Chain A
Amino acid sequence: MRIRLASLLGLTGAMMAAGVWSCNSSSEEKVDFNAEVRPIINGKCISCHGGVKQSGEFSLLFEEDAMEVNKSGKHGIIPGKAEESEMIKRITHADPEQRMPPEGPALSNEEVETLKRWINQGAKWEDHWSFVPPDPAELELQDSQSPDANPIDHFIIAKLNEVGLEPSPLASPEVLARRLSIDLVGLPPSKEMIRDLQADNSLKNYEKWVDRLLDSPSYGENWASMWLDLARYADSKGYEADRHREMWKYRDWVIKAFNQNMPFDQFTIEQLAGDLLPNPTKDQLIATGFHRNTMTNDEGGTDDEEFRVAAVLDRVNTTWEVWQGITMACVQCHSHPYDPIRHDEYYEFYAFLNNSQDKDSYPVESPVLPVYTEIDLQKKENIQRWIDSVQASGGIAQKASLLKAKEEELKELKSYSLPIMQELAEEEKRQTFVFDRGNWTTHGEEVYPGVPGSLPPLPEGSPYNRLGMAQWLVSGENPLTARVTVNRLWAKLFGKGIVLTQEDFGSQGNAPTHPELLDWMAVHWVQDMKWDIKKLLKLMVMSQTYRQSSTISEEAQEKDPANYYLSRGPRVRLSAEQIRDQSLAVSGLLSPKMLGPSVMPHQPEGIWQVVYNGAQWKTSEGEDQHRRAVYTYIRRTSPYPSMITFDGPSREFCINRRINTNTPLQALATLNDPVYIEAAQAMADSLLKVSNKPEEQITKGFEMSIFRSPTADELEILLSLYQESKGHFSNSKEGLQNLDLTEMNPEKNALTVVANAIMNQDAFITKN
């Protein structure tokens, strides 16, 4: 069903309707295996004739198996001869005992006809779409007609025309400014940005702000969160004792890599195999912390090998999930039930990851790299430089006491031990075996490092180790890496991926809504943009599609309630991190401090009750209470409550997509968590300074939060809440108490209640 884009774009919208796309089922029409046959097989046959069950020794997962003679000695499929193929005989059998599928309804006449035609046309097999590399020749773009439209819009509009929908008008400058700022840096826009875009809402001026936001250091803090979910980054080891682990330097590496706009291929190779690069830098070693985020159980009496194996299995599954969007956990026990990956191929891939030195028992944790905070690192380098220069100038004798003092100072700098990856020496290398039914104590045949046969081989010259594995993922030949990554970035902006199941690009995942767009972006990103993430994000946010209003028209609600076709802009609840950061930002409490060890903002008493471990939550002091959420300490068995409440994962395992929920516990958190009361109080303070008229104060607070003035009705609602609150506090002997402070001023308390309401409205916790 691939269509030539060049010809398609030449047509006007109205002409692009159904005809081009719809399937004509005349008997001469060539059957499209992926579009027509595979859905029938996957829906009706594969659960018994797939990778797990191969009933009657007949499997429809691989072409060579499907064409084989089966248990009954017959060919299930004889290309060109539908009537003689056992498969057709069985699905059309008159005897219900013989007829396939044995349970559920028979195949429809239409389905049977499709299968017959497909076999008669030669039973041509095709790989699942995501395993077929995109063909750039088929994705060539013609000159665009509208100067403001970018290539993305051509694909989107073509599809909208097809289903009879129109794009929405562009969002207002205020709405767009907030959307863009939250998407790119995770924080609300500055006043300056709002004013500037209101004054000049040209695309050129918008582009200036896109560039500014992409250059802001907050950009890395925002996008790191997405990656840290995938990396299952946390500050503890998991399981029973769930002891502290010093991983924050890896988190800082991710933030800096995003800010430096490290190309994604390099970003990949350094994290998976930085230690195997020639003369790796310290930063490249820090990057390998990625796969040291695996959990470990150091409970008394644990078999260390069992949990080492569990960690390697997790590394295999995580690598596949992050870069390939393919779920590998199934293949640990048996061949993939739906996707073309065999059981032994899983362990061939496992062999890439089975030769690292890491030991995660207690108290031994190795190998580790001594690392410092940014400030201490500066100090260390300065002192070291001084010592070196003194030693070089031969003045050691005169400066002996000073030298000693400097050396002492050096020793006092606190170093942290970051777990990193290191490969075993050649003579210590482990053998890798298939685990029968996934059980690590039952060894099958020995296997050697390799990649599944359904995907391209290792690039020429790549070593058969972790480095080669990483190079394979980003070789450009791999059909999945770019699609999966482009889709993930797209989903962060648009609220859902082009492939909705971000975590599953296999045959059980959803088909892409806009396959040509996904492929075009993937090819363009790798070939023209050279894996540049900021350029790709810029392309997306510059599109008209992104800049549309998110208001839902009656028609769109009827035809596309879920915004599947993107006839309007995204409207999505903010992430756990963004909700906290936004409240701190609009109220002026947010600390700009970046990087460093994780912090412990206020948390209710008694959350941490830990078995066999004296670990305690010690509330951070000063501005560390109001750092961005990406710096909050994450203990896996007891994550920070309001993060979990807003669907932040516990970071126990790789999470490709957070499922947004909408729960009463979320309401309770933003209403009553002391940090949100603090934010409301801080906002009240600033409103008291702006004016002494409640109308003006409330209007200002509303504008500070969602960057538009309240309507008359909205103002009325809040004003009435203000009056009632003020009445209450004026007549009450009790003030409003939060943490250790009691506020008695009725005006401030009333404004606090109003600010709290403003910061709980849907428009505030949602990206519009």
Chain B
Amino acid sequence: MNLLEEINYRNAELNTRRHFLKKCVAGMGSLALGGLMGSALTGCDSDKEIAETLMRDASNPMKALPPHYIAKAKRVIYLHMAGAPSQLELFDYKPELQKLHGLDCPPSLLEGKRFAFIQGTPQMLGPQFNFNQYGDSGSWVSDRLPHFTECVDDVAFLKAVHTDEFNHAPAQLLMHTGGARLGKPSMGSWVTYGLGSENQDLPGFVVLVSGGTTPSAGKSVWGSGFLPSVYQGVQCRTQGDPVLYLSDPKGMSRELRQKSISAINKLNQQQYEEVGDPEIMTRISQYEMAFKMQMSVPDTMDINDEPQYIHDMYGTEPGKSSFANNCLLARRLAEKGVRFIQLYHWGWDAHGAGKNEALNHGFKDRCKEVDQPMSALLKDLKQRGLLEDTLVIWGGEFGRTPMRENRGGKEMTFVGRDHHLEAFTMWMAGGGIKPGITFGETDEIGYYGIKDRVHVHDIQATILNQLGLNHERLTYNFQGRDFRLTDVHGNVIEKILA
């Protein structure tokens, strides 16, 4: 008990709500925190763990916490292209595949493989767009991303990413929660659980969705799984209430709401004096936070106050729900110290089964929707000095086949590619990542990674690493087991670190 008492004392010292915390953590300290911490405390058997646990503040679960070691990145902006864009039409240039275009796929590529839709013998499909090299790095980019060609010297391309899942929902879950089945906490939840947030007036983990629909795996991709629900992602919307129930009923003024919250808190203060339950003090602080969020969220979400040159840069139109607006919002949230900003843009599932999901139609539209805003985001972060400590990640949940999809064994009207888990391209920028490099290589048709392959868990380990978190140490005890984002896998991709 001695160490506990000592840490309790230091914790109380650190805290402004000293009297409350002293009460809260004295004696059976770990149990008092139990309501918030869940079973995190049950496995404490080393001094270090106890120390880490008690750095936490029961009245403020989003309090900024120190990382495991010095962090290169303070926050993350993750641009997820839901539906999985084709690497072969964007970054992974395969002239050899062009030569094989229209030929039957050799059986060696099909044996023992499972595809979502390809049946029988499909034909090889050459790159559908022209490629060129750009920047000092000489990175290959297709003509679908003209704006992005100006950013290639700021990013690190990962050309040989692979995953275990070839259906959208499980693959998205694997990418964002580290497990293909439902129930695990998402990356943003892990990060806010591990680091808290630097802005107490805004949620620490914000999710922005565009493309007309949520990702295939639904809201679980930003759920908190078995972590306390306070760490789940908060979806901010560009239409309607930016956060659910944020707006007061019409007719209620800000002043009146302030008075009503103040009355509630006074009642609660009286109650606290009567019954002495520290949970009441937490509730008071959460009502204060709710009121602050009512002020700061709409301010942050309102992009009308941005100068015209910024709107021109991103291609934003205030009031619309678009990827462009979300990119600008991402920068605004990053500026305010939000820890994890997750964007989803739906519509990349270019099977060729319909016009909107054809490489030569819908896919081109998607490219147009993201090219300018994502490039503007990188440039804007850079010009504000934010790119240095903001880690930006771009990618889908898997890749696409070098074969043309032949759903039902037939040639389809539109051109598309099937799901492919062996190789796809992602890029990362800022936050201590080496700029202007390409890491990893696929074979001559882009089917397998042949050099420097990285798995989804390696990406996750690297993201946590840049935030100063050791992915093997960021654990949570649930159902008798210490769980982590990377399950029992994951290696930091050291070679792309600056």
Contact = CB atoms under 8 A, between A and B. Distances in A.
A328 B114 CA distance: 29
A720 B263 CA distance: 9
Contacts of B271: 761-763
B286 A664 contact: yes
A216 interface: no
Interface in A257-311: 295, 297, 299-303, 310
B230 A301 contact: no
Interface stretch (A19-27, A66-74, A552-560, A584-592): A552-560
Contacts of B217: 239-240, 637
Contact of B42 (A295, A510, A763): A510
A341 B278 CA distance: 41
A573 B279 CA distance: 9
Nearest to B24: A561
A736 B250 CA distance: 6
Given A501-B42, A652-B182, A761-B271, A561 B263 contact: no
B256 interface: yes
Contact of B251 (A639, A642, A671, A742): A742
A200 interface: no
B481 A330 contact: yes
A310 B212 CA distance: 30
A369 to B, nearest CB: 27
A711 B270 contact: yes
Contacts of A29: none
A611 interface: yes
Contacts of A763: 267, 271
Given A509-B480, A667-B290, A717-B263, A672 B246 contact: yes
Interface string A723-761: 011001100101111100010000001000100110011
A338 interface: yes
Contact of A300 (B27, B117, B212, B245): B117
B169 A240 contact: yes
B35 A664 contact: no
Best-surrounded residue of A327, A562, A664, A671 (most CB of chain B within 10 A): A664
Contacts of A673: 245
A37 interface: no
Nearest to B33: A562
B250 A737 contact: yes
A672 B270 contact: no
B182 A668 contact: no
A500 B117 CA distance: 48
Nearest to B167: A299
A557 B276 contact: yes
Contacts of B121: none
A240 B114 contact: no
A153 interface: no
Contact of B249 (A611, A645, A661, A677): A677
B111 interface: no
A661 B228 contact: yes
B220 interface: yes
B216 interface: yes
Contacts of B209: 609
Contacts of B228: 659, 661
Contacts of A732: 251, 253
Contacts of A302: 116, 167
A661 B240 contact: no
A605 B182 contact: no
B474 interface: no
A564 B239 CA distance: 47
Contacts of A653: 181-183
Given A295-B182, A503-B479, A662-B35, A301 B218 contact: no
B229 A557 contact: no
A559 B169 CA distance: 49
A606 interface: yes
Contacts of A605: 240
A711 B274 CA distance: 11
A345 to B, nearest CB: 17
A663 B230 contact: yes
B290 A664 contact: yes
Contact of A736 (B115, B249, B280): B249
B244 interface: yes
Interface string B147-189: 0000000000000000000111110000000000111000000
A714 interface: yes
B128 interface: no
A256 interface: no
B361 interface: no
A677 B245 CA distance: 11
Contacts of B167: 240, 297, 299, 301-302
A620 interface: no
A607 B240 CA distance: 11
A647 interface: yes
Contacts of A339: 480
A201 B214 CA distance: 55
Best-surrounded residue of A104, A639, A672, A725 (most CB of chain B within 10 A): A672
A611 B263 contact: no
A762 B272 CA distance: 9
Given A604-B240, A659-B229, A757 B480 contact: no
A638 B189 CA distance: 18
B320 interface: no
Contact of A329 (B29, B289, B290, B479): B479
A561 B480 contact: no
A762 B31 contact: no
A693 to B, nearest CB: 19
A713 interface: yes
Contacts of B293: 664, 668
Contacts of A674: 249
A606 B240 contact: yes
A639 B219 CA distance: 9
A647 B251 contact: no
B268 A761 contact: yes
B228 to A, nearest CB: 5
Contact of A560 (B27, B243, B274): B27
Interface string A623-652: 000000000000011110110110100101
B480 A508 contact: yes
Given A504-B479, A665-B244, A672-B246, A610 B116 contact: no
Contacts of B253: 728, 732
Nearest to A503: B479
Given A242-B218, A303-B114, A667 B480 contact: no
A728 B223 CA distance: 40
A478 interface: no
Contacts of B73: none
B326 interface: no
Nearest to B23: A557
A9 B255 CA distance: 61
A662 B270 contact: no
Best-surrounded residue of B38, B115, B252, B256 (most CB of chain A within 10 A): B252
B15 interface: no
B306 interface: no
Interface in B201-248: 209, 212-220, 223, 228-230, 232, 234, 237, 239-241, 243-248
A240 B168 contact: yes
B264 interface: yes
A371 B280 CA distance: 47
B240 A337 contact: no
A544 interface: no
Given A104-B46, A728-B256, 5 more contacts: A496-B34, A604-B240, A663-B229, A742-B250, A742-B251
8 contacts: A299-B169, A327-B479, A508-B477, A650-B223, A665-B243, A725-B259, A756-B260, A762-B271
Interface of B: 23-29, 31-32, 34-36, 38-39, 42-43, 45-46, 61, 114-117, 166-170, 181-183, 209, 212-220, 223, 228-230, 232, 234, 237, 239-241, 243-253, 255-257, 259-261, 263-264, 266-268, 270-272, 274-280, 282-283, 286-287, 289-290, 293-294, 346, 418-419, 477, 479-481
